[in-house]
Structure 1
Amino acid sequence: MRFSYFKKLGKTMKTIIKKLLAHYWLVYPVLILKMFIYYWQTKRLDMLSIYDVPLLSLLFLFCVFEAFSFKESKPRRYGFYIVYTLITLIMLADAAYSSYFGKYVSVNQLYQITSLGQIAGDGDVIGASVSPWCLLTLIDYPFVLYWYRLRNKGKKGMLDELAKCWPEKFHFKNVWKEKKFMLSLIKSALHIIIYIVAICAWYYYGLNPQNLRSVQQVNHIEFFTYHTNDIVVNVVGKLKRSSVDEKAIQKKMKSIVPKSSGTAYKGVAKGKNLILIQTESFNNFVIGATYNGQEITPNLNKLLKKDTIYFNHFYSTTGVGNTCDAEFSALNSLYPNDIRECYRMYVDNTYNGLPWMFREKGYSAMAFHGYVKTFWNRSEAYKNQGFQHYYSEEELEQTQISGFGITDKEMFRQAVDILKTKQQPFFSFMITLTNHIPYELDQSLASLKLKDSDVGSTFGNYLQTVRYTDEAFGKLIEYLKKNDMYDNTVIAIYGDHQGMNKETPSVQWKMTDFLGKEYDYDEMLNVPFIIHIPGLNESKVADTVGGEVDIMPTIANLMDLDTKQPYVFGHDLLNADEGFVAQISYVGEGSFITSDDNMLFTIGKDGTVASGRLMSLLDGSRKNINEKLCQKYSDRAQSLIDTCKEVLDNNLIANYITH
């Protein structure tokens, strides 16, 4: 009896679904749902009060469907399949990219497919970085293709019914039956109306010079306009590069690059070795913090107490290259951009960053990383960066692997074994790896006792790998002392970028609970910068606002290095007159962090200052926006990024440096 009931229910549901699918006009509410899901997944729902943006997207989407439905033919059918598939895939890419970076994907990110391919084998990395909900952007795809085919098979749908309802006395019914004249007329009229409305809306909201805020909103938020503009700017625009005025660029830099004055700490580490360590996914909040009654970073905490300068208001300045852009910025005092990772985009440029500056002083320069040498194109990029040798996974002994590659303790041990054979002084750039997302660590290496509620969570795993990396720092110092290298070696440590992304709901909730306040960009973008100089005989906490772009000039002051070229976009944090850092990834260009009233400003997703957010660096509290002041600083931040891009695009450093 029960079986027959379910059989009958199943048959009924099948009939209902079949009847629903028979009405192709249902494609329109499905397209509306598609746009809703898209703007939800790309975190633009707060912009739906700007009703013109989703309306404009719907009009364009309707135009696509109607344009290919006007007259049935095989080329039109396959043309629609290709175009709609492309639109759907771009929407999926936007949703996935926004779930991590908070912005739409650009045509330039096509170049990152090779880097993505190197980590795609580890599904946990993708899963931890991208929200699975973004797959909802595909939910309409099979239905829309089905309805398109149904419509063009001549099935009678909404327009057919409208035509049939025309008054009998006009005798159009028979004409429609014989020549389908009425249906064609209605279709043509609707096409024309939709196109006119779409063009008028696009002009009013996207092109009208009298409506400038709407121009910004549409360019930053509306799907079709953003990607059309992206292609025009980044593909067509590159073909129209004009000559540059170097004097004008250098004059502009004097007004936008933060200034330093004085000679404090100049040359205090002159002639010493330098080990500069870029620490993977290392947030500043772990420094000095305790969890479940345990210090998270006991070794770094100990380091801060003697012969150490610690910058606690230090922020990542990464572009789309994330880790590789962090090191590019740190080594060269140049801003990356949101177009493409600099190690590929500017691989053939001339540089005069830390490796070259040290080599001019008689140092040897080498880099260490426990992953494959081709990742982020390092094997090619490091040649022009000035490194004489790059020790990657291929050249190191794979004695202990966890997560992505060789563990940090093993990488440090092998690096010191290599360094002790080199002539001193040396400059060694090391990149840690164990604390890489998804923060997997063999249980035999884990030492932090987690709460039951945090076991297996991203938050708990992160704290565990942070603790391991901290232990690796302790081991590094132990190795240096054992080989009589410690007293003559400066150790500088900084985090490359955040490890806990606030855009991930589970992370946001855990972090807010851990910090006792809302986890926001003031904490997320904050990474540590620590300089340990044995024999300094002082320790201090410097609260000057700075970023990775300031590392090179700060190190140059400590070790008495010569810059020899004018294109330096950071400043010496030990003698800073002000602190100012432009932001690129996660919060968008036009965002900034400044020591003026200790402010962090994030530009609105629509690209306007008015819809942005201002918060205090001291406690994360929200502040009222002084639109005039924030616009001034936002323009300065954008100008720093644009000017640096102009320098890199035209390889201007080559006019001053020959190697």
Structure 2
Amino acid sequence: MSGFFKRIRNLLNTTIGFYVLVVFLFWLKTYICYKTDFTLGVSGGMQQFLLAVNPIPSAMLLFGIALYFRGKLAYWLMLIIDFLQSTWIFANILYYREFSDFLSLGIIKGTGNVQNNLGKSFLEILRPGDFIVYVDIVILIILLLFKVIKIDHHPLKFRYAFSITILSLVLMFGEYSAANANRSGLLTRTFDNNYIVKYLGLNEYAAFNIYQTQKESSTRANAKAKDLKGVEKFINKNQVSPNVSYYGKEKGKNVFIIHLESFQQFLINYKVDGKEVTPNLNKFYRNQHTIAFDNFYHQVAQGKTSDAEMMLENSLYGLPQGSAMVSYGAQNTYQAAPSILDQKGYTTAAFHGDVPTFWNRNNTYKSWGYDYFFSDSYYKNKSNYNVGYGMKDKIFFKQTIPYLQQLPQPFYAKMITLTNHYPYELDKANTSFPATTTGDSTVDPYVQTAHYLDQAFGEFESYLHKTGLDKNSVVVLYGDHYGISNNHRPAIAKLLHKKSVNNYDLAQFQKVPFMINGSNLDGHVDHTYGGEIDVLPTLEHLLGIKNNNMIQFGHDLLSPENQQIVPFRNGDFVSKKYTKIGGTVFDTKTGKELKLTKTQKKQFNDIQKYVNDSLSNSDKVVYGDLLRFHHIKGYKDVDKKTFDYNKKTALKRLKQEDKKKKTDLIDENGGKSTVSDFKTDAPELK
């Protein structure tokens, strides 16, 4: 036995032996992370096998670079490469824990560009056990320092190093062939990063993502006007007519878009200890003039809030990776809600109590045609006015009024709330609602910040009523994306009062609110299936705006011709009949797993084709900036140079507009301010 260990130690004292040890330790920790930190949906022997072996080929290739050098340099290179790969795993563990997805080049670039404060969230997500990814490096350094393993100064023959490189490439190709046989079109048809990681590995996913990103960048340069023809053909084929009973019902009215941050549909009418989490939103939901959609889904991907805004205001999907607002917000041509309404005589403004660079809004909003963007520099701030990602909602609404009352009517005003954002922090002075008791520290405070958001909305709604704005406005409320990710299954089951939840339950859990209130509407709960992509065409028709010549991938939810198909960014979908999650098909009404008949397969395949075509055509528009080739009679493309969101310049322009039009709320109120009409119980302002 002692002879065996001696031979092992002698092997480890060679460059090739140390290389094998490094590869083995790296493989082991990567596989452990796959099993403990990611939910990859592995099923079947082949998938289990590929998951187990997929870290090996890329590790052999990357660590093999060091074999072309000799002595200490070779050892240092292996440790440095190990550190870099481990950091990539570490970053993905943190990102996946909250967002159920892997980092992409778009997200990495976007994090720097928007100067957001994701670091604050990462500190909340971080667990001591995450640092296990660096333990092997520490062990290797200790073994070298104390000369348990001695550095081999002899150069490894070139042909051996080259043979290892070739072997790693052969293994990589074999791995891809086996993966593609198990899932056809893995790199050409997939919309889900989990598939790439579970079949090929984290390093291969990174390489593929970089390739995709670079390919997308070149797409715009090579795009031509004729590329738009196929998109227009798809749009025209799937166009729906407006509902004559609703078309133009709210024509000429102000429009409020209230962005309910991280707010999910299950919160409506939800109770904790017998108390309603959202009493004000519940009343609004049941209001005699509110059309509330209870089968409305968020459709975001990595872009989260930015994806929601992209769909809401353009009826274009977010991207498979990264954020369209970050990557394409400044350079692309858009036909967005603000520019459409601006050319109908509306004043358009966005209000947000955070930095203007977050999600590249300061540039994107110019491309979309926003006249004004009231961001953090417009708001008075103190340390206790902020929590998490920005200004507390009650203070935000209160400080928005001085600007809102100066907007010439009719106006289109979007208000982005922030307090109900992960990690759901709220100081004691503002916490007036009990937390849930699922035992999940991420989930339990969620209802508390949601309750605070509800209170803030209630205060704003009272202001609308007192000033009479509610009678001359359409108020749209929507949830941008999930607040509780699907990674919190046990807690979700407890929230839903179930023993466990399956993929169908999780799909239903991703519903978000969508409500439209207008004095000319007959309120009711509408069961039409839809998503964020459908908001713009629905709103346009209510305002009497024709959209039949526009490139929009959503459909009017009030149209009787609506096919009720909700595509998700990864290619899954919900429809009136079928819900597809991964490779499983469920009956949408019963939640039962289906084995499709021949007739059902035909129906299912038709829906899947529509979903795939809708997503791919939208991507063509964004990647190729195809709207620069699309010209609509009576519509002018946005001139970004005409917009300036500097506070001094914007407020001066606002005064000049008021002198011309005399239609703002102050003018309606006999020249008196309405600021005192807004009442808040925010303790910070007392």
Task: Say yes or no: TM over 0.5.
Answer: yes
- The alignment status of 1:527 with 2:512, answered yes or no, reads yes
CA distance in 1, matches of 2:343, 2:465: 27
Q: Which amino acid aligns with 2:235?
A: M
Structure 1 counterpart of 2:86, from 72, 88, 111: 88
Cα offsets for 1:143-193 (capped at 9, x unmatched): 34556886984469xxxxxxxxxxxxxxxxxxxxxxx9xx978x966974x
Secondary structure of the residue aligned to 2:302 is coil
Q: Which amino acid aligns with 1:354?
A: A
Matched residue, 1:242? 222
CA distance in 1, matches of 2:186, 2:105: 19
1:22-421 matches, within 5 Å, as: 24=18, 26-27=21-22, 29-40=24-35, 41-44=37-40, 46=42, 49=45, 50=47, 51-69=49-67, 72-73=70-71, 75-114=73-112, 118-120=116-118, 122=120, 125-128=121-124, 133-144=129-140, 153-154=150-151, 192=163, 198-207=168-177, 211=181, 213=183, 216=186, 219-221=196-198, 222-223=200-201, 224-236=203-215, 238-239=217-218, 242-244=222-224, 245-255=227-237, 257=238, 259-260=240-241, 262-303=243-284, 304-346=286-328, 347-398=330-381, 400-421=385-406
Q: CA distance change for structure 1 residues 45 and 69 in 2, over 3 Å: closer, same or farther?
A: farther
Q: CA distance change for structure 1 residues 550 and 212 in 2, over 3 Å: closer, same or farther?
A: same
Deviation at 1:622, TM superposition (A): 4.0
Secondary structure of the residue aligned to 2:458 is helix
Q: CA distance change for structure 1 residues 621 and 73 in 2, over 3 Å: closer, same or farther?
A: same
Deviation at 1:38, TM superposition (A): 3.0
Secondary structure of the residue aligned to 1:494 is strand
Contact 2:353–2:376 (CA under 8 A) maintained in structure 1 = yes
CA distance in 2, matches of 1:210, 1:471: 52
Q: Which amino acid aligns with 1:650?
A: G
Secondary structure of the residue aligned to 2:247 is coil
CA distance in 1, matches of 2:272, 2:499: 11
Q: Which amino acid aligns with 1:375?
A: F
CA distance in 2, matches of 1:190, 1:651: 46
Contact 1:278–1:327 (CA under 8 A) maintained in structure 2 = no
Structure 1 counterpart of 2:550, from 550, 563, 566: 566
Secondary structure of the residue aligned to 1:340 is coil
Q: CA distance change for structure 1 residues 289 and 420 in 2, over 3 Å: closer, same or farther?
A: same
Q: CA distance change for structure 1 residues 468 and 367 in 2, over 3 Å: closer, same or farther?
A: same
Deviation at 1:650, TM superposition (A): 2.4
Q: CA distance change for structure 1 residues 116 and 239 in 2, over 3 Å: closer, same or farther?
A: closer
Deviation at 1:128, TM superposition (A): 4.5
Q: CA RMSD in A?
A: 3.5
Q: Which amino acid aligns with 1:574?
A: L
Secondary structure of the residue aligned to 2:525 is strand
CA distance in 1, matches of 2:414, 2:550: 24
- The alignment status of 1:640 with 2:629, answered yes or no, reads no
Structure 1 counterpart of 2:580, from 601, 609, 612: 601
Structure 1 counterpart of 2:412, from 427, 430, 436: 427
CA distance in 2, matches of 1:316, 1:248: 27
Contact 1:334–1:568 (CA under 8 A) maintained in structure 2 = yes
CA distance in 1, matches of 2:93, 2:144: 25
Q: CA distance change for structure 1 residues 368 and 67 in 2, over 3 Å: closer, same or farther?
A: closer
- The alignment status of 1:487 with 2:471, answered yes or no, reads yes
Deviation at 1:566, TM superposition (A): 2.8
Contact 2:57–2:171 (CA under 8 A) maintained in structure 1 = no
Q: Which amino acid aligns with 2:355?
A: V
CA distance in 1, matches of 2:125, 2:514: 25
Matched residue, 2:447? 463
Deviation at 1:336, TM superposition (A): 0.8
CA distance in 2, matches of 1:152, 1:658: 67
CA distance in 2, matches of 1:294, 1:466: 13
Secondary structure of the residue aligned to 1:335 is coil
Contact 1:404–1:436 (CA under 8 A) maintained in structure 2 = yes
Q: Which amino acid aligns with 2:624?
A: N
Q: CA distance change for structure 1 residues 131 and 337 in 2, over 3 Å: closer, same or farther?
A: farther
Secondary structure of the residue aligned to 2:474 is strand
CA distance in 2, matches of 1:250, 1:103: 32
Contact 2:490–2:500 (CA under 8 A) maintained in structure 1 = no
Q: CA distance change for structure 1 residues 136 and 427 in 2, over 3 Å: closer, same or farther?
A: same
Deviation at 1:627, TM superposition (A): 6.7
CA distance in 2, matches of 1:294, 1:137: 44
Cα offsets for 1:397-425 (capped at 9, x unmatched): 33743443322222223333432233211
Larger radius of gyration: 1
Q: Which amino acid aligns with 2:538?
A: T
Secondary structure of the residue aligned to 1:574 is coil
CA distance in 2, matches of 1:516, 1:271: 48
Q: Which amino acid aligns with 1:235?
A: Q
- The alignment status of 1:478 with 2:462, answered yes or no, reads yes
CA distance in 1, matches of 2:206, 2:460: 47
CA distance in 2, matches of 1:632, 1:203: 34
Deviation at 1:142, TM superposition (A): 2.2
Contact 1:289–1:297 (CA under 8 A) maintained in structure 2 = yes
Secondary structure of the residue aligned to 2:413 is strand
Q: CA distance change for structure 1 residues 117 and 554 in 2, over 3 Å: closer, same or farther?
A: same
Q: Which amino acid aligns with 1:420?
A: Q
Contact 1:313–1:546 (CA under 8 A) maintained in structure 2 = yes
Structure 1, unaligned runs of 5 or more? 1-17, 157-179, 604-611
Deviation at 1:464, TM superposition (A): 0.9
Q: Which amino acid aligns with 2:274?
A: G
Deviation at 1:253, TM superposition (A): 3.4
Which stretch of the first structure deviates more once superposed, 400-409 or 550-559?
Answer: 400-409
Matched residue, 2:190? none
Contact 1:557–1:572 (CA under 8 A) maintained in structure 2 = yes
Deviation at 1:517, TM superposition (A): 5.6
Q: Which amino acid aligns with 1:230?
A: N
Q: Which amino acid aligns with 1:206?
A: Y
- The alignment status of 1:580 with 2:565, answered yes or no, reads yes
Q: Which amino acid aligns with 2:405?
A: K
Cα offsets for 1:116-160 (capped at 9, x unmatched): 8531453xx22445666544333323234556886984469xxxx
Contact 1:352–1:563 (CA under 8 A) maintained in structure 2 = no
Sequence identity (%)? 27
Deviation at 1:283, TM superposition (A): 0.3
CA distance in 2, matches of 1:211, 1:57: 19
Secondary structure of the residue aligned to 2:378 is coil
CA distance in 2, matches of 1:291, 1:343: 37
Which stretch of the first structure deviates more once superposed, 468-477 or 205-214?
Answer: 205-214
CA distance in 2, matches of 1:279, 1:315: 14
Contact 1:206–1:215 (CA under 8 A) maintained in structure 2 = no
Secondary structure of the residue aligned to 2:445 is helix
Q: Which amino acid aligns with 1:496?
A: D
Q: Which amino acid aligns with 1:593?
A: V
CA distance in 2, matches of 1:128, 1:511: 22
Q: CA distance change for structure 1 residues 144 and 507 in 2, over 3 Å: closer, same or farther?
A: farther
CA distance in 2, matches of 1:203, 1:650: 31
Q: Which amino acid aligns with 1:264?
A: S
CA distance in 2, matches of 1:564, 1:658: 17
